Structure 1
Amino acid sequence: MGRFCCFNSSYSKLVGGRSSSAGKGRNHEGLIKFGFNLVKGKANHSMEDYHVARFMQSQAFLQRNLFSNILKEEEFWADPRRSISKAYEKTDQAILSQSSVLRRGGSTAVTAILINGQRLWVANVGDSRAVLSSGGQAAQMTTDHEPNTERGIIENKGGFVSNMPGDVPRVNGQLAVSRAFGDKSLKSHLRSDPDIQDITIDVCTDILILASDGLWKVMSNQGAVDIARKIRDPRKAAKKLTAEALKRDSKDDISCVVIRFR
């Protein structure tokens, strides 16, 4: 039916990894290229960021996409929005089912699925972000799920949002995002349903950046696009973005995927 490009960049308290990782790929026509880079932050814990970035034919989609067999191919073609939402819901349930092992573990995520190089679907939970460049102009494709923004929903569920001086707003004084996978102790006050956007890729579309909040805390959307567009190799662009974030004293782990169109 089609050809998928699946890209994901997520911050996770569930997965430990290497202190750094980099790589790249391209589809067989050479029209779309991607590169990624992950770096360990300065916090005293193991690497918490994780990513998936790959091209695949539709027949391989079931076995190899980020959500494994959760995101069913036939359902996706029938209703992409509902299918992605369902995949996020089942991912949350799968993480919660392991809460006895993971304890307070949780995760945010941003996912991009590109179909036949033409239709882009983007979904996110939490503060990992997707930014699209069209002719050099940055446009945020995702919504940062911040506690203050969704305060009413949290309070209606019996929770509260703290605003301690010198700190960011937190759900029940703990979590700095209002939507996340897992986090069982806060689940009654949290949402895990994604915001989902879709857009048609045109000749002006040049760059898509997916990154965890370790990048966005110290860099604007336009600033990231300006850096990435100057570097033809998307892997080198991803490495430059993570290096720049560290230079600006980002304390968090950083995962970054850069996709260059045509």
Structure 2
Amino acid sequence: MVCSTYIRSVIVQAGHIFDKKGLQLSHLGRSLHTIIGLPYTWNREFKTSRRMMVDSGGPVVDIVPEKDDDSGYVSGGWRSEDGELSCGYSSFRGKRATMEDFYDIKNTKIDGQAVCMFGIFDGHGGSRAAEYLKDHLFENLMKHPQFMTDTKLAISETYQKTDADFLDSEKDTYRDDGSTASTAVLVGRHLYVANVGDSRTIISKAGKAIPLSEDHKPNRSDERERIESAGGVVMWAGTWRVGGVLAMSRAFGNRMLKQFVVAEPEIQDLEINKEFELLVLASDGLWDVVPNEDAVSLAQSEEPEKAARKLTEVAFTRGSADNITCIVVKFFHSKADPASPQQDYPSMV
């Protein structure tokens, strides 16, 4: 069990200020990238180009440029060359003083196979962990020697290695921030969804919203059992928290709670057939106020870029107090292709 002395030391070392997810770290070295009252712009650290790799090891070109307007929304979109896949994304600082959400979209070909990757990374206690994932997670995944032959294993090992690499990169700092990761990797028609934390991915199948990830909350019975078996404790402090500190049970980073707050993803995989219409990936700034069914209904009525923007706007209008970031991916199935066999809803591992 974690004794009270340990918990106090975690709080003292981390910085004293709670937010709804965990500890909002405060340190002199961190600059505020977005400040309430000033026009909303993303500087070099935040406004990074979404990129497309046209082939493994080949040149990198820009995807559709981001649109950044005075209202604070950053959005954009992309469509595959064969016209069977398009996506839109939107990100909004919302009511928070700083922006800690990041996202990444990549498209490439490996051994002649089309590969698309979509990721939402929601930072807590600072932006460094989420930014690190945006910069490194998919790059590390594509370098995994078994990425194409055993994609599920490659994702699991890459998540955990990237977490270790991030912690190593921060070992000489006083920061202890963390991040969620909810990612969707499409290899041909095979979809792999991996999740750590409380960002979420859902899919629309024949108009029905199906969650492809389950939020990692400390009071989830299996998560609580795992934490307590490792010697940790789940405590109520405004919400259920690991060690009374962190309001999610899995995350990247969070060095001081790493024994209990792991970065091992839960992964689902399925074959995309004609019944699957769209994907929605989003940070909990959306899911706190928009149910899965509403997200699908709203996304179906628009093209992906407009749908992503609409979802972030609706979440803000409904009172979300967090950063809000989402990606909408739509599938356009060729009528000439035979329908894939219907499959049961996959189980998480």
What range is the shorter-chain TM-score in? 0.7 to 0.9
Alignment-derived partner of residue 17 in structure 1:
46
| 2-structure distance, mates of 1:102, 1:141 | 35
| 2-structure distance, mates of 1:69, 1:43 | 31
Which residue of 248, 256, 259 maps to 2:326?
Answer: 256
- Residues 165-176 of structure 1: matches in 2 within 5 Å? 167-176=238-247
Which residue of 121, 127, 131 maps to 2:198?
Answer: 127
| 1-structure distance, mates of 2:286, 2:268 | 21
1:108/1:133 CA distance change after superposition, 3 Å: same
How far off its partner does 1:95 sit?
1.2
- Residues 33-112 of structure 1: matches in 2 within 5 Å? 33-44=86-97, 46-58=98-110, 66-72=137-143, 74-99=145-170, 100-101=172-173, 103-112=175-184
Aligned: 1:194 with 2:265: yes
Where does the alignment leave 5 or more consecutive residues of structure 2 unmatched?
1-24, 34-44, 48-71, 116-134, 333-349
| 2-structure distance, mates of 1:132, 1:102 | 39
Alignment-derived partner of residue 6 in structure 1:
none
Greater Cα offset, 147-156 or 98-107: 98-107
**Residue identity opposite 1:53 in structure 2:** I
**Secondary structure of the residue that 2:94 maps to in structure 1?**
coil
| 1-structure distance, mates of 2:104, 2:174 | 21
**Residue identity opposite 2:289 in structure 1:** V
| 2-structure distance, mates of 1:243, 1:182 | 30
Sequence identity percentage: 41
- Residues 220-235 of structure 1: matches in 2 within 5 Å? 220-231=291-302, 233-235=303-305
Matched-pair contact (CA < 8 Å) for 1:71–1:87: no
Which residue of 217, 222, 229 maps to 1:156?
Answer: 229
The CA RMSD measured in Å over matched residues stands at 2.3
**Secondary structure of the residue that 2:148 maps to in structure 1?**
helix
Give the structure with higher Rg (CA): 2
How far off its partner does 1:70 sit?
4.5
Alignment-derived partner of residue 312 in structure 2:
242
| 2-structure distance, mates of 1:67, 1:101 | 25
- The count of residues paired between Structure 1 and Structure 2 equals 244
> Once the two structures are superposed, what CA deviation does each residue of 1:53-92 show, in whole Å capped at 9, x if it has no partner?
132122697xx98431354354112211111001001110
**Secondary structure of the residue that 1:159 maps to in structure 2?**
coil
**Residue identity opposite 1:171 in structure 2:** V
Where does the alignment leave 5 or more consecutive residues of structure 1 unmatched?
1-12
1:102/1:220 CA distance change after superposition, 3 Å: farther
Matched-pair contact (CA < 8 Å) for 1:207–1:260: yes
| 1-structure distance, mates of 2:136, 2:105 | 9
**Residue identity opposite 1:154 in structure 2:** I
Matched-pair contact (CA < 8 Å) for 1:37–1:257: yes
Greater Cα offset, 16-25 or 105-114: 16-25
Alignment-derived partner of residue 177 in structure 1:
248
How far off its partner does 1:206 sit?
0.7
Alignment-derived partner of residue 4 in structure 1:
none
**Residue identity opposite 2:82 in structure 1:** E
Greater Cα offset, 74-83 or 17-26: 17-26
What TM-score comes out, normalization by structure 1 length? 0.87
Matched-pair contact (CA < 8 Å) for 1:71–1:84: no
Greater fraction strand: 1
**Secondary structure of the residue that 1:69 maps to in structure 2?**
helix
